[in-house]
């Protein structure tokens, strides 16, 4: 009966508008929730076709969804591990309840922003119980190759193990001017020394000495020297020796001509580095390329340092961790150096709006979302990571209040249909009277 279909249509109208009202209520309630993605309802008409000249009301159905692709505004914070994404992509997280499990895998969830702090075990977690996950770095700060189509290589970001660390010296720049007159016939031939400190792999300060002994010819000037490298940690015996000669031509006077290893080291003419084995490991010492005057030179009558440099630092105490735009988490130490300890990739799927919405502004994969891929932040379709920032809710209060008025009117109108059908049915029953 057509009048009955009108009643059913009115009931479905009440139901779908009640669902719409529920999404509006959620959106307004979460207008201040970081990372919240607004929910919406989409209505679809139901058509019931019958014979010619008849019409049956089919009513309406509703499907609710979250607009995950829309990004909220970014706001700055004072916490370096507050993370937001400037563009597409999601952070990999897991629940803190899963951290104690064995087996090496963790349930994967995704979120677009989070405020993370080290918990009592040193794992970066949020107040809502989410643990940030990433790929651990090797001891030299590089990230080993990892699978990109699964979360098999992801681990909770753990910072407590890096509470103390040393940064050993691996590169020394030796810039010294040697007196040309010291290689003339009749010179004393006394060796000249210069010492520098360096840091071993335990963060201890050690000393390396470069000893330069001129080669004295019978006549004229040799422009030649013997350079010995003495590592304090290995004793007083030189660990390496090299023969040096310098140019005396009008265009290249004073620059290095040749560097020839005698024992204990090698020389790379392309980089200008000699490689020497110290007690703590190999160290490259830059002396200069042939024809260069940037490091070792031989001019005039003065023995003087020109530019001395080194990398490394003593043992440091971890003071903070920070994340850069490419997702690399660095441990910052009070001794003045930093080291990459993790890389946090960004998850992308073909259809973000098809993800399953979970509590705490997290999402999980679904058949509708498609498979995931792990990108380096800022590469492919993904945006860069932003530290000291959070993503605000995508709720627009003005828009929701407008939708609230429309939904209220639509609900009232559907209720009026039911009331009208009731009155018409009452008139039908009154025919008998």
Residues 5-30 have pLDDT tens digits of 888 888 898 999 999 999 999 999 99
Percent of the chain residues past pLDDT 70, beyond the cut = 96
pLDDT at 85: 97
Total domains, the chain = 3
Q: Are 405 and 368 found together in one domain?
A: no
Integer CA distances (angstroms), 78 to 16, 115, 389, in order = 43, 10, 8
Q: What is the DSSP letter of 128?
A: T
Residue 1 pLDDT class (50, 70, 90 cuts): low
> Within this chain, do residues 288 and 211 fall inside the same structural domain, yes or no?
yes
Residue 4 has pLDDT above 80, yes or no: no
For 57-102, what is each residue's pLDDT tens digit? 878 899 889 999 999 999 999 999 999 999 999 999 999 988 876 5
The more confident residue out of 2 and 363 is 363
143 and 62, same structural domain?
A: no
> In the prediction, which pLDDT does 102 show?
56
Percent share of the chain, pLDDT over 90: 70
* Tens-place pLDDT, residues 125-149: 999 999 999 999 987 789 999 999 9
Averaged pLDDT, 170-183: 94
Tell me which residue of 227, 223, 232 sits closest to 212, measured CA to CA: 227
Q: Running DSSP on this structure, what letter comes out for residue 237?
A: S
Assess whether 176 and 303 both reside in one domain. yes
Last residue of a domain, one of 262, 296, 311: 311
| Matching residue, tokens 């001794």 | 335
Which residues make Cβ contacts (< 8 Å) with residue 104, sequence separation at least 6? none
CA-to-CA distance for 100 and 374, rounded, in angstroms?
A: 25
Structure tokens at 412: 């009232």
Q: Helix, strand or coil for residue 385?
A: strand
Largest CA distance in the chain: 144
DSSP states along 285-328: EE---TT--SS-EE-TT--EEEEEEE--EEEEEEEEEEE-TTSE
How confident is the model over 276-288, as a mean pLDDT?
Answer: 93
Mean pLDDT of the chain: 91
pLDDT of res. 315: 76
What's the number of CA atoms in the CB half-sphere (13 Å) around residue 4? 1
What residues contact 261, with CB distance under 8 A and at least 6 apart?
240, 241, 242, 267, 274
**Domain limit, last residue, from 311, 339, 372:** 311
* Residue 41 pLDDT > 90: yes
Cβ proximity of 289 and 271 under 8 Å: yes
Radius of gyration of the chain (CA): 37
Q: Which of the listed residues 295, 311, 327 is the one where a domain comes to its end?
A: 311
Q: What is the pLDDT of residues 114-128, one digit of tens each?
A: 999 999 888 999 999
177 and 266 in a single domain? The answer is: yes
In a shared domain, residues 282 and 346: no
The predicted-structure confidence for 295-351, as pLDDT tens digits, reads as follows: 999 998 889 998 999 988 887 777 889 999 999 999 888 877 788 999 999 999 999
- Do 425 and 292 reside in the same domain of the chain? no
CATH code where residue 198 lies: 2.60.98.20
Query: Do 175 and 297 fall into the same domain?
Result: yes
- pLDDT reported for residue 431: 83
End-to-end CA distance of the chain: 22
- Answer yes or no: do 387 and 399 share one domain: no
Domain co-membership, 328 together with 362: yes
| 189 and 323 co-located in one domain | no
Q: What is the pLDDT of residue 162?
A: 57
Span 378-428, pLDDT tens digits: 999 999 999 999 999 999 999 999 999 999 999 999 899 888 888 888 888
Q: Is the pLDDT of residue 51 over 80?
A: no
Which residues constitute the domain of residue 236? 169-311
Question: By CB neighbour count within 10 A (0-12 exposed, 13-18 middle, 19+ buried), where does 213 fall?
Answer: middle
* CA gap 128, 97 in Å, rounded: 11
Kindly indicate the confidence band of residue 177, based on its pLDDT and cuts at 50, 70 and 90. very high
Q: Looking at the structure, do residues 195 and 133 belong to the same domain, yes or no?
A: no
């Amino acid at each position: 009966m057509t009048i009955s279909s009108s009643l059913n249509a009115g009931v479905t109208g009440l139901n779908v508008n009640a669902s719409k009202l529920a999404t509006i209520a959620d959106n307004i309630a979460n207008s201040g929730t970081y990372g919240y993605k607004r929910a919406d309802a989409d209505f679809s008409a139901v058509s019931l076709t019958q014979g010619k000249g008849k019409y049956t009301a089919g009513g309406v159905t509703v499907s609710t969804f979250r607009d995950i692709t829309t990004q909220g505004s970014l706001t700055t914070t004072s916490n370096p591990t507050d993370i937001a994404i400037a563009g597409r992509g999601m952070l990999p997280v897991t629940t803190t309840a899963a951290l104690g499990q064995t087996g090496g895998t963790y349930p994967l969830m995704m979120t677009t922003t989070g405020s993370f702090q080290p918990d009592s075990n040193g794992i970066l977690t949020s107040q809502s119980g989410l643990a940030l996950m990433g790929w651990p770095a090797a001891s030299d700060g590089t990230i080993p190759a990892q699978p990109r189509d699964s979360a098999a290589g992801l681990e909770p970001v753990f910072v407590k193990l890096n509470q103390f660390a040393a940064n050993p010296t691996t590169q020394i720049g030796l810039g010294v001017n040697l007196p040309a007159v010291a290689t003339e016939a009749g010179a004393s031939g006394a060796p000249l020394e210069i010492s520098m400190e360096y840091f071993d792999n335990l963060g201890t300060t050690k000393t390396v000495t470069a000893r330069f002994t001129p080669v004295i010819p019978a006549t004229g000037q040799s422009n030649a020297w013997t350079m010995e490298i003495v590592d304090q940690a290995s004793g007083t015996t030189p660990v390496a020796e090299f023969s040096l000669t310098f140019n005396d031509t009008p265009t290249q006077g004073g620059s290095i001509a040749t560097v020839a290893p005698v024992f204990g080291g090698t020389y790379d003419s392309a980089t200008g580095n000699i490689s020497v084995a110290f007690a703590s490991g190999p160290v490259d010492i830059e002396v200069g390329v042939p024809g260069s005057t940037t490091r070792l030179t031989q001019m005039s009558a003065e023995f003087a340092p020109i530019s001395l440099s080194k990398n490394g630092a003593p043992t440091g105490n971890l003071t903070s961790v920070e994340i850069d735009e490419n997702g690399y988490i660095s441990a910052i130490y009070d001794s003045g150096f930093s080291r990459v300890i993790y890389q946090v990739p960004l998850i992308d799927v073909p259809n973000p709006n098809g993800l399953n919405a979970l509590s705490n502004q997290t999402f999980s994969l679904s058949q509708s979302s498609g498979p995931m891929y792990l990108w380096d932040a800022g590469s492919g379709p993904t945006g860069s990571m932003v530290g000291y920032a959070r993503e605000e809710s995508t709720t627009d209060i003005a828009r929701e209040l407008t939708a609230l008025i429309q939904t209220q009117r639509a609900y009232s109108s559907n209720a009026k249909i039911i009331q009208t059908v009731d009155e018409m049915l009452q008139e039908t029953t009154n025919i008998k009277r």
